[in-house]
A = this chain, B = another copy of it.
C-alpha cells in the first residue's frame, strides 16, 4: 500500500503538503496539487482507513448483531441495513448470535473495543426469554449507541425500530371475521416466547374477543415435527375455518396439510401467514401474507444509528414500520 510518506519522498515534498494537496486544501498551489494527484493516481494511492480511524476516533463502521441470517426476515433486514450503509458511506461488521445469549455477549464485548461506532441489534431468543439485559447496558455505558429492532427489550432505553405486530395481526384477524365471516380462527405460533410473538397473539385475541369468538391457539414451541402437529390439529378440529400464522413457515405448512385433508382453500379454509417477497411463490394456492417491510426496517435502523452518531440534537425514539396485508389466493377476494 502506497503511503503519504512514499509520495512525499518521490515528489520531494513534505508529508503534510501532500496530505493537504490530496485534500484539496486552498493553501496549496494548483501546480503542486496537479503533480501530487498525478502520482497518487498513478500509484493507486488510497488513504489508509485504519490510520484515519485512529486519528479521527471514528470508524464509520456499525456492528450488526443478528440472531440468524437464514431466516428470510433477518436476511432482508440485513439487506436494508447494507443498502443504507453503502449510501451513507458506512461499513458493517456482522455477527450472528445463533440465538444464544453467550455468543451475543461475546460479540458485543469483542466489538466494544473501538471497532465500531455503534450497534444495530436484534436480541437472541435466549436473551429475550431470560430477559438478560446487562450486556446491552454495558455497551451503552461504554458510550456506544444501540438501535434495537424487532426483538426489542423494553427495559433498555435506546432507539428502537419495530413492526406494528399487534395491529397487523389484529387487522388480519378482523379481516377474516368481518369480510370473510370466519367463525373459528386458529392462531398458529412457534414464537410465543418472543416479544413480537406475544404482541401478535394479543392482536389476534383482541380481534376474536371483540367479535365474541373463542380463541384457538396452537403453540408449537420449538417442536420438530411441525407438519404432523398442524395436520393433527386440523384433523381433530374440523370446525376451524381460518388460520393465522405468525411466522413465515407454518402458514405454508397449514396450506399443505389442509390440502392433504381435502379442505378447499380458500373456500372452506382461509389462511394468512407472515411473509416476505419470495414466500408467496412457494405455496399453492399462493398464500396471503402480512408482509413485514423488512428492508425498510433495516434502512430505518441504519438511518437511526447514523442520526444518533452525527446529529447533535438526536433524541431517543421508537419507530414503527407498518406492515401491509397482501391478499392472495389463500383468502377469498374481498
Contact = CB atoms under 8 A, between A and B. Distances in A.
Interface string A274-288: 001110011110000
A167 interface: no
Copies in the complex: 2
Interface stretch (A15-23, A42-50, A145-153): A42-50
Interface in A82-119: 82-83, 86, 91-96, 103, 106-107, 110-115
A318 interface: no
B281 A259 contact: no
A91 B115 contact: yes
Contact of A50 (B59, B257, B259, B278): B59
A54 interface: yes
A50 B54 contact: yes
Contacts of A76: 70
Contact of A227 (B1, B142, B249, B281): B281
B54 A252 contact: no
Contact of A47 (B59, B83, B113, B227): B113
A220 interface: no
Interface string A200-228: 00000000000000000000000000110
A244 interface: no
Given A47-B113, A54-B51, A94-B92, A75 B86 contact: no
B79 A75 contact: no
Interface in A23-82: 44, 46-51, 53-54, 59, 61, 64, 68-70, 72, 75-76, 78-79, 82
Contact of A72 (B51, B70, B142, B260): B70
Nearest to A91: B93
Contacts of A278: 70, 249
A95 B103 contact: no
Contacts of A282: 249, 252-253, 282-283
Contacts of A283: 256, 282
Contacts of A68: 79
Nearest to A107: B86
A70 B252 CA distance: 18
Contact of A94 (B70, B94, B103, B284): B94
Contacts of A79: 68-70, 96
Of A76, A86, A227, A284, the most chain B CB neighbours within 10 A belong to: A284
Nearest to A259: B284
Contacts of A75: 69-70, 72, 75
Given A72-B72, A86-B106, 17 more contacts: A1-B142, A44-B142, A48-B113, A50-B50, A50-B53, A50-B54, A51-B54, A64-B94, A68-B79, A70-B79, A72-B75, A82-B95, A91-B115, A93-B94, A94-B94, A249-B278, A257-B284
21 contacts: A1-B142, A48-B113, A48-B114, A49-B113, A49-B114, A49-B115, A50-B59, A50-B114, A54-B54, A64-B94, A69-B78, A69-B79, A70-B79, A75-B75, A86-B103, A92-B93, A227-B281, A249-B281, A252-B282, A259-B259, A282-B283
Task: Enumerate the 4 nearest inter-chain pairs by beta-carbon distance, A residue then B residue, closest first.
Answer: A256-B284, A46-B113, A48-B114, A94-B94
